[in-house]
Amino acid sequence: MALNQNIALLIDCDNVSHRAIEGVLEELAKYGKVNVRHAHGDWNNPSMKGWIEKVHPNAIRPIQQFALTKGKNATDASMIIDAMDLLYGDNVNAFALMTSDSDFTPLVMRLLESGFTVYGFGEKKTPQPFVDACSQFIFTENLEAVEEPEESTVTKAEAPHSTPKKQSRNELRMNAGLVKLLRTAVEQTSDEEGWAHLGAVGAYISNNSSFSPVNYGYKKLSDLVKASELFEVQTHNKAVHIRDNRAR
């Protein structure tokens, strides 16, 4: 995934928690500048109180969408129209969708077809089709701010974010899908001796799945690879190369 992107963050406030927004913005900062920040929802609804408190501190523009018909989610249509307007503009070259609603899967596919990277952020209840469609998907529970007691002197803006529990060597190895993904990426990017540049491995994974090491408790792919102990690791002039242990 390219760095220094202009990213449009579109938030479905009806289907995702406000507690993860700072973590989402910090994660996106790895890839570029989030120059568009739109939060869609019915701001007259009492359930939006948490989001209201997050709008101004995080420079997010609230987009009002009244619930015109009971039982119908008008926010979805508003957010899709917003995305398509941005798609045909020239202000962004990547999208981030913060939602747990699989109804946005066709939108993700449309954006991908137009050559845009799509970062997905949603709760663990998010249906798998939406997770798989995104270029990268991170569960927001892994990015939520730690709630501090009211008497604490730490402000909400300063509150640390929760760090998901790092999966152990055995837990990583028991995940057949993860092991297959890592080994395939190394195999497809390795030289004749079986060594693969970690950067090339990461690029291959990004092009073929919605994988993120954050979902396993690791900030970097290199940390997850080392923890799994599935590969030999060598570093030369700051370049990391790995080889499947089975190649020994």
Contact 98, 72 (CB under 8 A): no
Query: Which range is least confidently modeled, 49-58, 90-99, 119-128, 141-150?
Result: 141-150
**Where in the chain are the domains?**
5-158, 169-247
Q: What is the pTM of this model?
A: 0.82
User: What is the fold of 169-247?
Assistant: Nucleotidyltransferase; domain 5 (3.30.420)
- Print burial letters for 140-164: b (CB count within 10 Å at least 16), e (below 16): bbbbbbeeeeeeeeeeeeebebbeb
Per-residue confidence at 144, pLDDT binned at 50, 70, 90?
confident
Residue 112, judged by CB atoms within 10 A of its CB (0-12, 13-18, 19+), counts as middle
User: What is the fold of 5-158?
Assistant: Rossmann fold (3.40.50)
Partnered with residue 8 across adjacent β-strands are 36, 95
Contact 233, 245 (CB under 8 A): no
pLDDT, tens only, 188-205: 999 999 999 999 999 999
pLDDT, tens only, 59-78: 999 998 776 555 446 678 88
